[in-house]
Every structure is written in C-alpha cells, then in structure tokens.
Amino acid sequence: YIADCLKRYASQRDKQKGEFFVHGFTLAMTAQNRFYRPISEQDTQAGYVDIFLCPLLEIYSDMKHSYIVELKYAKYKDPERRVEELRQEAIAQANRYADTETVKNA
C-alpha cells in the first residue's frame, strides 16, 4: 500500500531524495492509523527500529500486537539479487529487534 502511494503521490524529485524521503513518507502514512502510535527510530537493545507501531493500549486495551517496520532502499537499477539481499537483511533486523525487551514490553 505504501509503495503504491509513493508511486502515485511522490514526484520524481521527491524520489531522488532517497531513503530519507521514503522514511518520512512512510512515517506520515502510518501516523494516520488510529490504532497505533508510530515511533520513529525506536531505540532497542539491538539497534534502532525504523518505525515501531505501538498499540494505543490506553484506548484499545485488548490489542495484542505491535509492528516493526524496517525500511530498505533499493535503487531503480539494482538487480533483483540486491533487492533480495536487502529483504533478507530487513527480516534479520526485524527479528533481532522483536527479540528485545523494549519491543516485548510494548
């Protein structure tokens, strides 16, 4: 969904700004969610989560899940194997973050 919104609403000039633009755009998109509070660069014992979606437990006390959004930026001309490398890296990072006390407590 976010990738489709980036394609639809961002200009070519926006896209040239790279990973920082994508991070800000994604943070803005997740901030529209009424069930989760997005926290940018959440510090964990294993590093920094790009965006941590923390449930609004003070409103929705029965929510059981939070979400980790780990962004990787591939250039337009990167080969598919590079995209796969980035995907695997993001999965490993998200799993490492998910295993921290910071995330488990949230």
CB 70 within 8 A of CB 93: yes
Mapped onto helix, strand or coil, the DSSP state of residue 38 is strand
pLDDT at 20 (0 to 100): 85
What are the C-alpha distances in Å from 17 to residues 23, 42, 43, 64, 92? 11, 23, 25, 36, 26
What mean pLDDT is predicted for residues 54-68? Answer: 91
Higher per-residue pLDDT: 77 or 75: 77
Count of domains for the chain: 1
pTM of the complete model beyond 0.85: no
Structural domain that includes position 89: 2-105
Predicted confidence (pLDDT) at residue 37 exceeds the cutoff of 80: yes
Reference 98, options 37, 52, 31; nearest CA is 52
